[in-house]
Amino acid sequence: MEYPLLKLAAIDIGSNAVRCQISAVLEFGGNYRLKRVEYVRYPLRLGEDVFATGRISPAKEEKFVKFLHALKLLMEVHDVAHYLICSTSAMRSAENGQAIAERMKRELGIDVQIIDGQSEAAYVNRVIMQLLEDKRHYLHIDVGGGSTEFNLYSERRKVASQSFEVGSIRRLQNDGQPGAQLQDTWQQMETWVKENARRYHVTRAIGTGGNINKIYALAQLPLDQPISRRQIKDILTRLRGMSMDERVNLLMLNPDRADVIVPAGQIYLSAMEWSGAKDMLVPDIGLKDGMLQALFEDHFEEIRPITDQSHRMPVPVIQKDSEGS
């Protein structure tokens, strides 16, 4: 017997990978949960083309279209009611990014939104707010392949935010020979973090993104325990001393993670040092979770059962696990 589930889907087109998460909306006793039922990640690496040439190559464009077609079929199989597709740094930097988005609409009938850094941060903010404690001041650091987003929270309120075009793939491509533009942006980033962390008395960092999630996993800490700045530094030192083969075969990192984890990790570590934060929460949430939260809020009148007559907007619990995952 089939159990009826309303499903929402979020597709995050990043500079390193494309992620698709399909979650079912569950309601019981007035409480809501978003339970993950499908998750697909593919290392398309649009940033490799864009940050080197300014464009997405024809070969990568064709692969991109095929993968989005596959995800469209996956959503159809799951009977997804509503979806949201957002692309970030690579597509907004690509000369042909908008043209490719228009092709997706024309050929596949799907809408791909190219969002700026502030919109990206706003989505993540929807789920980060649920983690904050009263009377604490946080620096949220989100490192992608092409950009890094910073948000400062004081007393459960976002008080400052900024996006910088520095990310793991950009650093990887420039390691050893950093260009003047990257050096200048790095200096601007340091100045912004130092000034705002001092102004708002930052005491703790929050890290989101695939690379900090993997660093946290390598630390083998108890669930929900913060990772210290020293532990992050020690793990990066260990990784620098390993070859790609060792990272892949001994630590079981995916190849597309093994080469960017150190450049990304250095951004997190540097931001912690600039802000004075000695430890970091790593909640394993990101852009796709904020997109799902937005879908839930936008379509709540459809989602809400007839028996729920309350006028409040509930905050759903984001549940990560699914059978067989």
The pLDDT tens digits of the residues spanning 170-181 come to 887 766 445 577
List beta partners, residue 9.
22, 83
The pLDDT tens digits of the residues spanning 231-290 come to 999 999 999 999 999 999 999 999 999 999 999 999 999 999 999 999 999 998 899 999
**Nearest by Cα to 279 from 200, 209, 193, 205:** 205
The pLDDT tens digits of the residues spanning 32-86 come to 889 999 999 999 999 999 998 999 999 999 999 999 999 999 999 999 999 999 9
**Mean pLDDT (the chain, rounded):** 90
pLDDT at 29: 79
pLDDT at 245: 97
- For residues 308 and 29, the answer to whether their CB atoms sit within 8 Å is no
Helices 117-128 and 287-298 meet at what angle, rounded to 10?
Answer: 80
10 Å Cβ neighbour count for 59?
9
**Nearest by Cα to 20 from 101, 81, 83:** 83
Q: Which two tokens stand for residue 265?
A: 């990790």
Task: Say which residue the tokens 């996993």 belong to.
Answer: 217
- The helix or strand, by DSSP H or E, that contains position 113, with its residue range, turns out to be strand 113-114
Measured CA to CA in angstroms, residue 91 lies from 44, 115, 121, 296 at distances of 12, 9, 16, 26
pLDDT at 308: 59
**Nearest by Cα to 129 from 211, 206, 30, 26:** 206
How far apart are the C-alpha atoms of 42 and 104, rounded to whole Å?
18
